[in-house]
């Protein structure tokens, strides 16, 4: 087919755009910003073509070529990859269009557009890779671009520091990921290679090879590999405890934040877990209330759920509009991880839920960030306390942001379903699916209600902080004398498109999406793999049965109740001001202090772990042993010989007579010895 031959253009065109923009951007209008837009638009069109082909035929597109030895380079577009492709190219395209307006006054436009084009290309590389090594290379490229773009305004010290922080924090995860790949490779060589017979070429690190041979890999090794992979995902996707870089990543231009938070970078971690899901499900199980569930997926679920709740509490008290959104991203990524973790019970359907939330999140989070960018662009401040009453001046931004906020808070109408599709914002559709069909079913099967509690509480807090933001920015009286104005049409147009997607995308695609992505992994295959670790997963019918028969209506209502409740609470506090915020949110309230200080993460990470432990204990001990012990031995040896030489060199007097005397004495002594021994 024709599409197979041109899929390589999807990542290649943005790379080309990167080169062209970097080289010729200065001479072109808008800093060459139209080159990446054109390139990504074509990539987007090819992605759509590829998607249509897969959707029609049901067979994934696979293009592969040998690289060296047992490795290959290749492209794999299965349902999972194709939805990611559509999302990445589409959202990235919109953000690039928006950036033409947003970055209009920046002198470094060519560099900006070149880097964002490379960023998009790297993310497309992650999505398209058909083997884990290629994925890792693109993954690192994503990390590099994030460093470059977060530190885009590198003359600002905070931006440079934030770039460095993002790079180093995600690097912790990257090292774990690389370690996982190395262990996987050695296992493949040791346990899988002997089983491969015949002359067919087999690429060891190709996903299809790995998945087909999971049963040859010892289960203990599988646990280690998947945990290390998840470590990589934790770094990239900002999960606890490696989430600290994400709020600081706000130092870059807002469009970069939108790109990082919606289309590229942070979703890479979720995608990695979804991509290697068969390995996760095959890891050995832990016993929980009578049924065995895969251990690493449980870890994924708990870390994800905890992150969702943890980040949303901090989102409550931030005053920087972008920081609120950053914590919201961490929290929503936690939801995606939580959803993937629920795969321990519901199998591959979890991948569908997680990806669905990922895509929906991409739309409404991109919209929220670009709205925030529009607000910052026109008011010139990031501080929510200095905004207020913007609705009258910035109608389009306000309304689009309201829609995106409704989506983030997950507002919708429960029980009402048309042709199996719930009616509500896209956030409602996907979050509801995660909470009810994911965490509730998990709780139902295992009696472990903790993930469910994480999900519900985080949903409540999400609604509160989202509408706190919106009410503070757009309603009430202006708190400072500023002259806000509506943004140009390239910006508002993009906002409108994204807001429309945030509202209706979930509703329109719910059933076909889950059906499509759910077919990435064959259900019987997944069941078989789960059986390897002694795990049991429920199938579609069981899931349907639990949802329709054994779930009380309150469970369905709960996500909406907390969503609307949060909205009302925010309305009461931040719009009507019936409750004085200052009475709760001041430095006398210990809870507020903890939140405002962000759980003392800075103190714990920097001062305790970095300064006290790493520097004070590890570094100084190493320094002592290096300087005093290792160097001491070397210096001792050399000073012994230097000192000895100092004494011995006095023999060389330079007076020839002394030498002559020594020679005569020596010869005499020799003669004496020889005569004693009877030689002479």
10 Å Cβ neighbour count for 27?
Answer: 9
In terms of CB distance, is 155 or 649 closer to other proteins?
649
Rounded Cα distance, 667 and 680, in Å: 13
* Dihedral, 84, 86, 91, 94 alpha carbons, nearest 10: 170
Smallest distance, other proteins to C-beta of residue 668, A: 10
In terms of CB distance, is 52 or 665 closer to other proteins?
665
For residue 129, the 8-state DSSP code is B
Residues contacting other proteins: total by CB under 8 A: 11
Rounded Cα distance, 97 and 506, in Å: 24
Smallest distance, other proteins to C-beta of residue 175, A: 55
Question: Residues 52, 591, 664, 680: which binds other proteins (CB under 8 A)?
Answer: 664
In terms of CB distance, is 447 or 661 closer to other proteins?
661
Rounded Cα distance, 193 and 391, in Å: 64
Smallest distance, other proteins to C-beta of residue 643, A: 14
Smallest distance, other proteins to C-beta of residue 670, A: 15
Q: Which residue has the tokens 């970055």?
A: 103
In terms of CB distance, is 617 or 669 closer to other proteins?
669
Smallest distance, other proteins to C-beta of residue 665, A: 9
In terms of CB distance, is 582 or 656 closer to other proteins?
656
Give the rounded distance of the alpha carbon of 275 from its chain centre: 14
On whether the CB atoms of residues 153 and 145 are closer than 8 A, the answer is: no
In terms of CB distance, is 27 or 649 closer to other proteins?
649
- Provide CB contacts within 8 A for 355, sequence distance 6+: 80, 83, 84, 270, 274, 517
Q: Three-state SS for 291?
A: strand
Smallest distance, other proteins to C-beta of residue 660, A: 6
Residues of span 568-587 touching other proteins by CB under 8 A: none
Rounded Cα distance, 81 and 103, in Å: 31
In terms of CB distance, is 289 or 664 closer to other proteins?
664
Give the rounded distance of the alpha carbon of 493 from its chain centre: 28
Residues of span 385-444 touching other proteins by CB under 8 A: none
Rounded Cα distance, 19 and 305, in Å: 41
Smallest distance, other proteins to C-beta of residue 651, A: 9
In terms of CB distance, is 418 or 656 closer to other proteins?
656
Residue 218 in tokens: 């010892």
Smallest distance, other proteins to C-beta of residue 664, A: 6
In terms of CB distance, is 581 or 664 closer to other proteins?
664
In terms of CB distance, is 587 or 655 closer to other proteins?
655
In SS3 terms, 39-104 reads as HHHHHHHHHHHHHHHHHHHCCCEEEEEECCCCCEEEEEECHHHHHHHHHHHHHHHHHHHHHHHHCC
Write out the DSSP string of 528-581.
HHHHHTT-----HHHHHHHHHHS--HHHHHHHHHHHHHHHHHHIIIIII--S-H
Residues of span 623-662 touching other proteins by CB under 8 A: 649-650, 652-657, 660-661
Residues of span 471-490 touching other proteins by CB under 8 A: none
Write out the DSSP string of 411-439.
-EEEEEEETTEEEE-HHHHHHHIIIIIII
Smallest distance, other proteins to C-beta of residue 656, A: 7
Smallest distance, other proteins to C-beta of residue 652, A: 5
In terms of CB distance, is 52 or 667 closer to other proteins?
667
Residues of span 80-109 touching other proteins by CB under 8 A: none
In terms of CB distance, is 582 or 645 closer to other proteins?
645
Rounded Cα distance, 505 and 516, in Å: 15
In terms of CB distance, is 587 or 645 closer to other proteins?
645
- Provide CB contacts within 8 A for 485, sequence distance 6+: 378, 393, 394
Smallest distance, other proteins to C-beta of residue 680, A: 15
405: left (phi over 0), alpha (psi -120 to 50) or beta: alpha
For residue 655, the 8-state DSSP code is -
Smallest distance, other proteins to C-beta of residue 658, A: 9
Rounded Cα distance, 117 and 124, in Å: 11
Smallest distance, other proteins to C-beta of residue 676, A: 20
Residues that bind other proteins (CB under 8 A): 649-650, 652-657, 660-661, 664
């Amino acid at each position: 087919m024709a599409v197979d031959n041109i899929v390589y253009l999807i990542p290649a065109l943005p790379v080309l755009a990167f080169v062209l923009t970097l080289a010729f951007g200065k001479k072109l209008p808008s800093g060459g910003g139209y080159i990446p837009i054109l390139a990504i638009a074509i990539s987007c069109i090819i992605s759509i073509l590829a998607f249509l082909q897969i959707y029609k035929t049901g067979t994934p597109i696979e293009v592969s070529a040998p690289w060296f030895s047992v490795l290959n380079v290749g492209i794999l577009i299965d349902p999972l990859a194709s939805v990611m492709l559509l999302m990445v190219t589409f959202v990235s395209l919109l953000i690039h269009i928006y950036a033409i307006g947003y970055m209009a006054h920046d002198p470094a436009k060519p560099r900006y557009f070149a880097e964002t084009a490379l960023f998009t290309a790297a993310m497309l590389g992650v999505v398209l890779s058909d083997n884990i090594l290629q994925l890792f290379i693109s993954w690192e490229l994503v990390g590099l671009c994030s460093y470059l773009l977060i530190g885009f305004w590198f003359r600002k010290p905070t931006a440079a520091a934030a770039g460095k922080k993002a790079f180093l924090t995600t690097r912790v995860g990257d090292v774990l990921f690389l370690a996982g790949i190395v262990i996987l490779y050695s296992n493949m060589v040791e346990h899988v290679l002997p089983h491969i017979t015949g002359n067919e070429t087999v690429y060891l690190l190709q996903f299809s090879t790995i998945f087909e041979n999971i049963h040859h890999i010892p289960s203990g090794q599988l646990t280690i590999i998947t945990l290390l992979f998840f470590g990589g995902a934790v770094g990239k996707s900002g999960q606890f405890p490696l989430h600290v870089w994400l709020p600081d990543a706000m130092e870059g231009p807002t469009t970069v934040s939108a790109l990082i938070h919606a289309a590229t970078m942070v979703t890479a971690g979720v995608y990695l877990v979804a991509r290697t899901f068969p390995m996760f499900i095959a890891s050995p199980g832990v016993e929980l209330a009578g049924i065995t569930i895969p251990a690493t997926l449980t870890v994924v679920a708990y870390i994800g759920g905890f992150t969702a709740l943890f980040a949303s509490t901090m989102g409550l008290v931030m005053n920087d509009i972008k920081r609120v959104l950053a914590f919201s991203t961490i929290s929503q990524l936690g939801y995606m991880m939580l959803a993937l973790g629920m795969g321990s019970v519901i199998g591959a359907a979890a991948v569908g839920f997680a990806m669905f939330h990922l895509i929906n999140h991409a739309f409404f989070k991109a919209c929220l960030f670009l709205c925030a960018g529009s607000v910052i662009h026109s008011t010139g401040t990031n501080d929510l306390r200095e905004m207020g009453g913007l609705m009258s001046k910035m109608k389009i931004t306000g309304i689009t942001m309201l829609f995106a906020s409704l989506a983030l808070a997950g507002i919708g109408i429960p029980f009402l379903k048309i042709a199996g599709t719930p009616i509500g914002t896209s956030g409602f559709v996907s979050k509801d699916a995660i909470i009810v069909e994911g965490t509730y079913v998990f709780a139902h099967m295992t009696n472990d209600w903790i993930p469910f509690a994480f999900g519900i509480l985080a949903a409540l807090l999400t609604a509160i902080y989202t509408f706190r933001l919106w009410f503070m920015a757009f309603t009430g009286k202006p708190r400072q004398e500023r002259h806000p104005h509506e943004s140009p049409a390239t910006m508002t147009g993009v906002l409108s498109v994204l807001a429309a997607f945030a509202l209706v995308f979930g509703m329109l695609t719910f059933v076909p999406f889950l059906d499509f992505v759910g077919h990435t992994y064959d259900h019987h295959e997944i069941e078989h793999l789960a059986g390897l670790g002694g795990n049991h997963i429920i199938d579609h019918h069981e899931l349907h049965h639990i949802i329709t028969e054994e779930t009380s209506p309150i469970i369905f209502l709960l996500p909406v109740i907390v969503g609307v409740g949060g909205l009302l609470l925010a309305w009461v506090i931040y719009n009507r001001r019936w409750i004085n915020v200052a009475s709760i949110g001041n430095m006398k309230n210990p809870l507020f202090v903890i939140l405002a200080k962000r759980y003392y993460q800075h103190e714990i990470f920097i001062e305790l772990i970095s300064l006290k432990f790493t520097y004070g204990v590890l570094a100084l001990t190493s320094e002592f042993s290096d300087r005093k012990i290792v160097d001491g031995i070397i210096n001792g040896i050399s000073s012994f010989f230097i000192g000895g030489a100092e004494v011995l060199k006095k023999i060389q007097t330079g007076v020839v007579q002394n030498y002559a005397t020594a020679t005569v004495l020596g010869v005499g002594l020799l003669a004496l010895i020889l005569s004693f021994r009877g030689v002479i």
